Structure 1
Amino acid sequence: MILFILAVMMITGILLVTTSMKSSSTWLTGCFAGSILLIVGFMYYFAKSGGLPFQMEFIFFLHPDIHRFFQYSTITIDEMSRLLSIGRAVFLFFLAGFVINASTIIQPRIKPFVYAAAFLFALSSYLIYEPIVYARLAEHSPDSFHHRTAFIMRASYLLHELALLTLLTRELRRMRTPWLRNKFMIVFVTVVNLAVIFLLFGVFSPLQVSHAITATYFYMGSLYYNNPLSIIQWYALIGVSFVVTIFGAFSLWRYNKLIGQIGKPEMLVEKKIRQSDMGVRVFTHGIKNQILAQRVLIRNLKKQLAAASDDDERDSSRIGRTSLIRDDIDRLSASNDQILQRMDELYSAFKTNRMRLRPTSLQLICEQVLTKLDPEQRALIQTKPFKDQLILADLPYLVQTVYNLLSNAFDAVRDNKSLARPAYVSLYGYLAGHYAVLQIKDNGVGIDKSQRHQLFDPFYTRKNSDTNWGLGLSYVQQTVKAHFGYVRFDSKLGEGTTFYVYLPIYRAAD
């Protein structure tokens, strides 16, 4: 049964390292390696020392042939003890490395010193129980030396794990985005499971076996020999470890993939935009020239209408017809101006090749977005003061991006005819690791699953409108990518939609 855990750790560790180049995968794989060394060391110890109940032999060796393989393998007692010390040191260092790497609480400039401290602690753990060194230390020492040393080392291991798990818990609580938090939660459970395994094999078991007095420890009986409940507990531990290790490694791979996507373009959307870029520019230029020509004609018509109005004052029968012509010209002029505005938006959506990114506060972005809203929208939106953080941004582009998302939110709320509760649209900002997140949320109509993969495509729109060309979200995607950011959304049909705009933090504002 224990062999299943060893096999799973070995396979998942290899897969993590070969399929993900993220450092967190390497750190977790190192934890697996340390756990494997510890467990294999005790398998050698139990096989050669004997005395395990039949149920425990089955849990550790599964088959008599495997037990005999370990029992008759050529390995000295010092080599077994060294295997335990190396496994313990490897686990301690890589667990610390994983937590330090994942932590955004520890400042980047001091992380190298924290890594160094973790390495020195793991190295000292190995050196103290390296058989040659330990033999020298214990050579002329009383028996109390063994007990005091073991007590100090066990206490330090417990404090070490407690500090790391506390730091990892705080990191989990700092994650405000559900889709990242859910993935990291399973990774967190995996680390806790590895910590429990380390407690059993690395703390509440002999710290080394080359000296008989240290191999005899009072927890050995309750864990491995005498306690009848230990069989059920071991089966539960093995079952949980088996499942959690698989799901944890997969979740870490997914988490690393998601983190890697933040700040990188989605290749499918980028390809579509790149292919349509030149065509859109030529198209907008040609159509815009024609519309500008129409504007000249409208101006001429207005002048002729003004002259005709003077004649109408002398001929009352023509006043009604002139008024109708004036209304038609006004509508044509308004429609023409609206189309020109849309053409400018279309052109802007595909010309974001260069931007002037300057340190900009989140609060300033929020304030400028709110000035673009009409009074009805300002009365509906919910906001709260933003974290005073700086990001690198081209302010006009980013303000327009957030405004586009808010406009969609207001439209969604207005279109939700079945809304039983008060309509709301919210704009919040918060920090998620090294990113500032702008969250735009509404309780509108939501987005159907069949439409989600097309949402950022140029010219795709769900709105039946002559003035909407499906460029808002394409513009959002293009602009956020130019800011080295990433757009994510969650939606439930009939309940609402939440958009998350991730933008890398420049530095804390002074």
Structure 2
Amino acid sequence: MVLILMVLLLAGSGVLLAVRRSKESWLVLGLVISLDVFLLGILTYIAKKGGIGDQIETLFYLTSDVRRFFQYRVMTLGQLGFFVAVGRYTFPPLLVALALQYSLSPWLRPLRKKGWAFFLLPALTLFVYLPPVFKQLTHNRLELQKFLVEASLAWIWAYLLLAAALLVYEYFSVCISFLKKRYLAKALLPLSMGLLFAMYCPQDPAQIYLFYSSDYMWLLGIWYLNPILSPSRYIAVIAITAVAGVMCFYTLLRNTHTYISENQRELVLQRKFDAANMGVSVFVHSMKNQLLANRVLHKRIKAALAESEPDLEKLRQYSSMLDETNEALLQRMEELYQSVKAKSLYLSVVSAAQVAEKAVERFQHKYPEGSVQVKVPEELKILADTVHLAEALYNLLTNGWEAMVMAGCAGPEQAVRLRIYNERLYTVIEVADQGPGITPEEQKRIFEPFYSSKNSNQNWGMGLYYVRQIVKSHLGHLRVESKRGQGTRFLILLPRYAARPAGPDVLLESCEHEEVVLNREGGRK
């Protein structure tokens, strides 16, 4: 069982790295390799020592042939002991490093740059456990042997507890529900791997080095060296190993699937937009149809004016219809134009309240009767292109109000809610409505270019695609949460702007009042 889990974890971490080459993926791969090295060393040691029961043989090796394969590998005690030491002393610092990598707490983020400090003690311990160094230091020094065994185990447990505390603290510190769920899916991987490692970490390499020369080392027998386990103890061992191992593989598989799905969605959206660019003639045809409709109205107006006594009421009706079609045409052209015109954005430090004010101003111009509840701290600053971000918010506000009107719940006491607040490393812009909600099927398509669930004569479906592109260009993320009949909430997560204790305010290496030019893909120009 243990061997199968080791192979599956190594394969899964390799796939994760192939899918997403990031520091996180490298740390996961390093963690899996160190755990595999440690467990392989232990399996080899147990096979060579012998004297285990049939149950433990099945748990570790599955068959006697596999156990004999490990038993007759040619290795000195020094080589085998150091092999175990490498896995044992590299796993804990890598676990702490991964926990810090997962952390979004502002006060913990600086520790990432000092993460190398957590490798100093393991590196020193690994140096001490080099076979010639260990032999020179501990020869005929039983008390020193005891100290090294107990001290190394102490800091290993301290590292494991620190990593677990960081992961648990981070989980309870996240307030946004979808971020909490996503974090839990990631945090279960290091937690389950830590549990699996903790079951075997008391195995000290010194016990292998001094196998024939120290009676003290024989007193360090661990549970799996007991030839006969009680039924309850055996069941506990099987259960913990199985649960921890399966959880490791499941979370690794799930995270890999999540990254693959995200990459596929990005690719699908890009392909659809490229295809849409090639089909501009379709939109030219659509505009032509509306212009032809305007021509018909114009002819009717001319005919009415040619009468001896023009029907003023009919003329007013034709004029109103002409005005509506022109406004709709201009709006559709503006959405398409805004979505494709900008090749770069100019980010500067601005007030979040200023961006919200511009968005609400545009919204009120289109819907004077519309109501927006705004909650934005006056002192909150963000790094943004004011024009484009305000335009994106205007699109979300408009969608929210139109959804409420469609649901019949728009009124003086009902309003679209716009909130901007800091959440850990993000500045969150939240736009929520009380409309009919969006089905899961529609949520998968709403960001596609030219997709709309509304009247296609009035909407081209470019609004949310434009919003998504602008958010992405701000190095942010766009998230939608909705249930049918319970309204919709859009969340824009932008990198949080912070001030250094001394010197100019900065974010993304950019000083206040300095413009940062980004292309539409979010890269610096």
What do the CA deviations read for 1:51-97 (whole angstroms, capped 9, x no partner)?
Answer: 32332222122211222222222222222211111111221333233
- Distance change in 2, residues 1:222/1:409 (3 Å): same
Distance across 1 between alignment mates of 2:265 and 2:135:
53
Q: CA deviation at 1:328?
A: 3.4
Q: CA deviation at 1:263?
A: 9.9
Report the equivalent of 2:327: 338
- Distance change in 2, residues 1:23/1:258 (3 Å): farther
Question: Any residues of structure 2 matched to 1:282-301 within 5 Å, and which?
Answer: none
- Distance change in 2, residues 1:478/1:113 (3 Å): closer
Is 1:236–2:239 an aligned residue pair?
yes
Aligned residue for 1:357, secondary structure, equals: strand
Q: CA deviation at 1:405?
A: 1.1
Matched-pair contact (CA < 8 Å) for 1:277–1:350: no
Question: Any residues of structure 2 matched to 1:316-465 within 5 Å, and which?
Answer: 323-324=312-313, 327-328=316-317, 331-332=320-321, 334-335=323-324, 338-339=327-328, 341-342=330-331, 343-371=333-361, 372-373=363-364, 377-378=370-371, 381=373, 383=375, 385=377, 388-393=380-385, 395-416=386-407, 425-431=416-422, 435-464=426-455
Residue identity opposite 2:97 in structure 1: G
Is 1:275–2:278 an aligned residue pair?
yes
Question: Would you tell me which structure has more helix in proportion to its own residues?
Answer: 1
Matched-pair contact (CA < 8 Å) for 1:445–1:493: yes
Matched-pair contact (CA < 8 Å) for 1:338–1:467: no
Distance across 2 between alignment mates of 1:261 and 1:387:
39
What do the CA deviations read for 1:199-221 (whole angstroms, capped 9, x no partner)?
Answer: 22223666542123553355625
Distance across 2 between alignment mates of 1:474 and 1:283:
21
Question: Any residues of structure 2 matched to 1:103-114 within 5 Å, and which?
Answer: 103-105=103-105, 111-114=112-115
Query: What is the RMSD of the two structures over their aligned residues, measured on CA atoms?
Result: 4.1
Report the equivalent of 1:196: 195
Distance across 2 between alignment mates of 1:406 and 1:137:
71
- Distance change in 2, residues 1:486/1:388 (3 Å): same
User: Which of 219, 222, 230 is residue 220 of structure 1 equivalent to?
Assistant: 222
Report the equivalent of 1:151: 150
Distance across 2 between alignment mates of 1:219 and 1:454:
59
Report the equivalent of 1:473: 464
Q: CA deviation at 1:2?
A: 1.8
Q: Which runs of 5+ in 2 are unaligned?
A: 506-525
Matched-pair contact (CA < 8 Å) for 2:188–2:247: yes
- Distance change in 2, residues 1:140/1:193 (3 Å): same
Residue identity opposite 2:387 in structure 1: P
Distance across 1 between alignment mates of 2:497 and 2:262:
18
Q: CA deviation at 1:289?
A: 9.4
Q: Which runs of 5+ in 1 are unaligned?
A: 309-316
What do the CA deviations read for 1:149-185 (whole angstroms, capped 9, x no partner)?
Answer: 3222222111112222222333334545544543431
Aligned residue for 1:52, secondary structure, equals: coil
Matched-pair contact (CA < 8 Å) for 2:90–2:122: yes
Q: Please, what TM-score do these two structures have when normalized by structure 2?
A: 0.79
- Distance change in 2, residues 1:500/1:230 (3 Å): same
Matched-pair contact (CA < 8 Å) for 2:17–2:26: yes
What do the CA deviations read for 1:296-343 (whole angstroms, capped 9, x no partner)?
Answer: 999999xx99xx9xxxxxxxx97xx66526633652564265235413
Matched-pair contact (CA < 8 Å) for 2:301–2:318: no
What do the CA deviations read for 1:343-365 (whole angstroms, capped 9, x no partner)?
Answer: 33443333233433323343332
Residue identity opposite 1:362 in structure 2: A
Aligned residue for 1:359, secondary structure, equals: strand
Greater mean deviation of Cα atoms: 332-341 or 437-446: 332-341
> In terms of Rg, which structure is larger?
1
Distance across 1 between alignment mates of 2:456 and 2:129:
75
Distance across 2 between alignment mates of 1:17 and 1:474:
29
Report the equivalent of 1:312: none
Report the equivalent of 2:121: 121
Aligned residue for 1:21, secondary structure, equals: coil
- Distance change in 2, residues 1:418/1:26 (3 Å): same
- Distance change in 2, residues 1:474/1:206 (3 Å): closer
Matched-pair contact (CA < 8 Å) for 1:77–1:209: yes
Greater mean deviation of Cα atoms: 194-203 or 455-464: 455-464
Greater mean deviation of Cα atoms: 491-500 or 427-436: 427-436
Residue identity opposite 1:328 in structure 2: Q
Is 1:54–2:54 an aligned residue pair?
yes
Aligned residue for 1:104, secondary structure, equals: coil
Matched-pair contact (CA < 8 Å) for 2:100–2:109: no
Distance across 1 between alignment mates of 2:75 and 2:270:
54
- Distance change in 2, residues 1:415/1:225 (3 Å): farther
Distance across 2 between alignment mates of 1:199 and 1:415:
57
Question: Any residues of structure 2 matched to 1:83-122 within 5 Å, and which?
Answer: 83-105=83-105, 111-114=112-115, 116-122=116-122
Aligned residue for 2:316, secondary structure, equals: helix
What do the CA deviations read for 1:349-408 (whole angstroms, capped 9, x no partner)?
Answer: 3323343332334333223333334575436x3645488242232x12211211211221
- Distance change in 2, residues 1:337/1:418 (3 Å): closer
- Distance change in 2, residues 1:387/1:112 (3 Å): same
- Distance change in 2, residues 1:246/1:198 (3 Å): closer
Greater mean deviation of Cα atoms: 120-129 or 78-87: 120-129
Q: How many residues align?
A: 490
Matched-pair contact (CA < 8 Å) for 2:171–2:184: yes
Distance across 1 between alignment mates of 2:276 and 2:195:
50
Matched-pair contact (CA < 8 Å) for 2:81–2:205: no
Question: Any residues of structure 2 matched to 1:26-37 within 5 Å, and which?
Answer: 26-37=26-37
Q: CA deviation at 1:494?
A: 2.5
Distance across 2 between alignment mates of 1:427 and 1:254:
33
Matched-pair contact (CA < 8 Å) for 2:15–2:256: no
Aligned residue for 1:498, secondary structure, equals: strand
- Distance change in 2, residues 1:364/1:6 (3 Å): same
Residue identity opposite 1:241 in structure 2: A
Question: Any residues of structure 2 matched to 1:155-174 within 5 Å, and which?
Answer: 155-174=154-173
Residue identity opposite 2:480 in structure 1: F
Distance across 1 between alignment mates of 2:276 and 2:493:
21
Distance across 2 between alignment mates of 1:48 and 1:263:
52
- Distance change in 2, residues 1:344/1:8 (3 Å): closer
What do the CA deviations read for 1:236-258 (whole angstroms, capped 9, x no partner)?
Answer: 12321332122121233245557
Distance across 1 between alignment mates of 2:73 and 2:155:
33
Matched-pair contact (CA < 8 Å) for 1:85–1:208: no
